[in-house]
Chain A
Amino acid sequence: MILTQEQLNVLNNVVVDGQAWADHAENKFGLDKATVMLGKKVAKHKPKYDADVLAGDYKTRSQEDEEGKIAEQEAYDKVEYDVKRQRAYPLIGDQLDALWKGGQAQADMKAIIDNVKATHPKSV
């Protein structure tokens, strides 16, 4: 389906890939019905698009998703050292297994744990 630039801009403000959305609708429902669906969807979401453009805050949905991932990662990283250590420690079952085995297995496990602690030192 061929979209106008404005239709594409409005769609991309809402969905990840506006062209893919329109092509899927055409494939599923046929051109005539998909055209009607496109018109209604664009009309519904155009007020937000216009407001975003007017405010100089237009972003594509893909941009928003990417920003969301970054924010989520930042929240993930923004934790204390103990949480970071917990994430990095081997499974408790593996640690118990090393203890029971003793010897080199236990020494190797200790080296792993020490390395985790060194990587994530206590906050000063």
Chain B
Amino acid sequence: MGDYGGNDPTPATSFTASSVDTLTNKSVDLLTNTFTGTTAEFNTALSDGNFATIAGTETLTGKTLTTPVIASISNTGTVTLPTSTDTLVGKATTDTLTNKTIDANGTGNSISNIDVADLANGTDGELITWDATGAPATVAVGTATHVLTSNGVGVAPTFQASAGGLTGITDNATAMAITISADEEVTIPKQPAFFAKENASQSNVTGDSTEYTISYNTEAFDQNADFAFDTFTAPVTGKYLLAGSSYTSSGTTGSHSSYVVTIKTSNRNVRLFTSNTSLWLGAYNFLVNGAVVVDMDAGDTANMAIQIGPTGKTVGLYGDGTANAHTWFSGCLLA
């Protein structure tokens, strides 16, 4: 081998294309030289690891990527990482999302299995509805005993006092008014109805043309508490059935020639019995009874009166303390 140039005075070791040589302290400029070989061949040349290639399948460990751009992820679609500092939400992780909009009506979207407990808290007693614009809204809480009432098309329902009930029935009740038993018997526990009787005889109440309003000191029943002492007071305008009996048991004489028994209401007096002859009178017991349906306005009163004359206030009415009744007054609201 001759001088390879330069001024190196040391003769170089000669080598050929097929000789095996170990080079030291050499530089290879890849601009003018070329290395070729497989990845495996290069990896063989490495003494502490392996090369990763662009198209090869390798598992990387211990790498830090600074601002990488991942074009695609195999099998699971596209993931674009946030450009700002954030935390990605995983499928199975527990996370609270903020500032997100989910369009349940978006193509292919759906939200299922929403429990009532998952709804936001609201006001106790309100209901969910939609307003005239179609936007979600709530029905305000009503008052106790109010019922949910439709306000027609385009208007949200509201809680209101029950004013309708069944068609044809006006219901303003605030408590139980009509009860139907398991055997279909209908009772009306607040319907005005009363029965009063006198349980002790009363002496010298008439006979001298005194009109005596008969008093009754015992009530067998008085639904709605409309009767007191001698007078029934209508709590509501309507048609009332009134019935009564007067039993004169003492003091009638041959001088008593008129005998009148009347049911007296605010609007009118109804004669049950009138007699102007003394032929049948005398010291006899005499019972007069009768019934009538009368019109009464709310607040009107009804009682029963007896008037015997012309002279001698000696006539008394019979009353008894048993369960039976001789002098009594009764009535109820019919319609």
Chain A residues within CB distance 8 Å of chain B: 14-16, 21-22, 24-25, 28-29, 34, 36-38, 40-41, 44, 65, 76, 86-87, 90-94
Given A87-B257, A87-B276, answer yes or no on A37-B298 (Cβ-Cβ < 8 Å): yes
Which chain B residues border A41 with CB–CB below 8 Å?
297-300
**B278, A91: Cβ atoms under 8 Å?**
yes
**A24, B299: Cβ atoms under 8 Å?**
yes
In the complex, A79→B299 CA distance in Å? 41
In the complex, A27→B301 CA distance in Å? 13
Contact with A along B242-275 (1 / 0, CB 8 A): 0000000000001001000000001101000000
**B266, A40: Cβ atoms under 8 Å?**
no
Instruction: Give, as a whole number of angstroms, the nearest-CB distance from A106 to chain B.
Output: 17
Q: Contact size class for B? A: 10 to 19
In the complex, A87→B267 CA distance in Å? 33
Those 7 A-B pairs whose CB atoms lie nearest each other, nearest first = A25-B299, A37-B299, A91-B254, A37-B298, A15-B266, A41-B297, A28-B233
In the complex, A76→B299 CA distance in Å? 35
Question: Which residue of the partner chain A has the closest CB to B257?
Answer: A87
Interface of A is mostly: helix
Is B157 an interface residue when CB atoms closer than 8 A count as contact?
Answer: no
Question: Which residue of the partner chain B has the closest CB to A38?
Answer: B299
Can you list 15 contacts pairing A with B, beta carbon distance less than 8 Å? Answer: A14-B267, A16-B266, A21-B299, A24-B301, A29-B235, A37-B297, A37-B299, A40-B297, A41-B298, A44-B297, A87-B277, A87-B278, A91-B279, A91-B281, A91-B282
Instruction: Give, as a whole number of angstroms, the nearest-CB distance from B190 to chain A.
Output: 15
Is B237 an interface residue when CB atoms closer than 8 A count as contact?
Answer: yes
From B254, B266, B267, give the contact of A90 (CB < 8 A). B254
Instruction: Give, as a whole number of angstroms, the nearest-CB distance from A112 to chain B.
Output: 11
